[in-house]
Amino acid sequence: MPTGDLVAAWEVALSDGVYRIEFAHGTATGKRVVYVNGQEVIRKDWMFKLVGKETFLVGRAGTLATITIEAVTGFAYEYELQISGKSLQTFMDNRARTTRTWLFQLDGEDCRVVLEKDTMDVWCNGSRVDTTGEFVDDGTETHFLLGGHDCCIKAVGSGKKKDGIVHHFLLDGERVAASTQ
């Protein structure tokens, strides 16, 4: 669990889940500790160099993450998280364009479905789902089952060049609103 030297925390939404990354930095000792969802993934004690980088993997796909530590003035430090070599903001902006996420309740349980638009992979609560795709008159449909429920992600042209293809999620034939996460 994070210690009293916690200096930064970030939330990172990946296809297999939302991860909380926390960084503890002992500026007197040089200690560096990285936690992912409360689990310690890096610990370095008694480092003489107080600035630098810590690199680690996040999620089932092993997404590369790097925390950069820079001195701002005197004993003040700045911490930046990069995911896949991009700033967190750039990474999240890119994911907003390349994925679609739906959050809903299914049989009393929270459910998070993510479509990776570039690969058409579908993830549910951290696991990739087996799907079957088919072409239909107005686009494509990607079918799969969740706990005995029929699910379909329908991809149709928006009719507007700027908007491109629009993805709708149907659970037992009922449309589920998309999320921003």
Tell me the pLDDT tens digit for each residue of 3-39. Answer: 678 999 999 999 999 999 999 998 787 889 999 999 9
Q: What is the CATH number of domain 6-84?
A: 2.40.128.180
Among 92, 58, 77, 64, CA closest to 6 = 77
Regions of the chain where pLDDT drops below 50: none
Helix (H) or strand (E) holding 96: helix 88-98
**Token digits of residue 7:** 């200096």
Which class in CATH covers the domain with range 99-176? Answer: mainly beta
What pLDDT was estimated at residue 160? Answer: 78
The three-state secondary structure class of 98 is helix
CA distance 16 to 39: 17
Domain pair 6-84 / 99-176, same fold: yes
CA distance 79 to 87: 11
Q: What is the pTM assigned to this prediction?
A: 0.86
What pLDDT was estimated at residue 23? Answer: 97
What pLDDT was estimated at residue 15? Answer: 94
Question: For the chain, which residues make up each domain, given as ranges?
Answer: 6-84, 99-176
